[in-house]
Amino acid sequence: MKKTACIALLALLFTNCKKSNPEEELKPIKKPAATSLTVKKEKEEKEDCKDIEVEMGAGRECIVRNTDLEKTYQNIIKNKEVEETEFYLATIPSENKSVEINKNGLISIDYNITKDKVAITMNYEGGVTEVTLEKIKNTIKKSIYHYAD
């Protein structure tokens, strides 16, 4: 009985043993080095954001450095910073414009264009989302507010 138990124990030890290779254990994990282009892009468009509490809603204000209104607008669409960006116009219109949507609870999108400022109002069945882009020198103040009805 003892002999059988010892053989079983040895069999378990041999099957669980792993060949140790010191070279495998010490291989460093290679990370791609940050290229100067990546670092440069991070420097170019730097955002400083803060959350804002408003009555019956929430908001976020960001200061985006070294950019313009159109690039910031395109980033909102590309990064889907608000819902239903697929209904945004491809570029900022040159004059005030209202676009009827009537899909996914979104009734319309209103563009209010003034000098150095774009105000986008998304009218939903249950509230409003306001996106404001304001050019201040070489920075853009980006404000996104969500209001419930």
Res. 19: pLDDT tops 60? no
Residue 71 resides in a domain: yes
Dist CA 131 CA 110 (whole Å): 10
Residue 2 resides in a domain: no
Residue 25 resides in a domain: no
Structural domain range at position 112: 47-148
Q: How many domains does the chain have?
A: 1
Residue 24 resides in a domain: no
Residue 12 resides in a domain: no
Task: Classify 12 as helix, strand or coil.
Answer: helix
Q: Which of 33-42, 60-69, 81-90, 132-141 has the lowest mean pLDDT?
A: 33-42
Residue 89 resides in a domain: yes
Residue 86 resides in a domain: yes
pLDDT recorded at residue 35? 47
Q: Which of 27-31, 100-104, 125-129 has the lowest mean pLDDT?
A: 27-31
pLDDT recorded at residue 40? 40
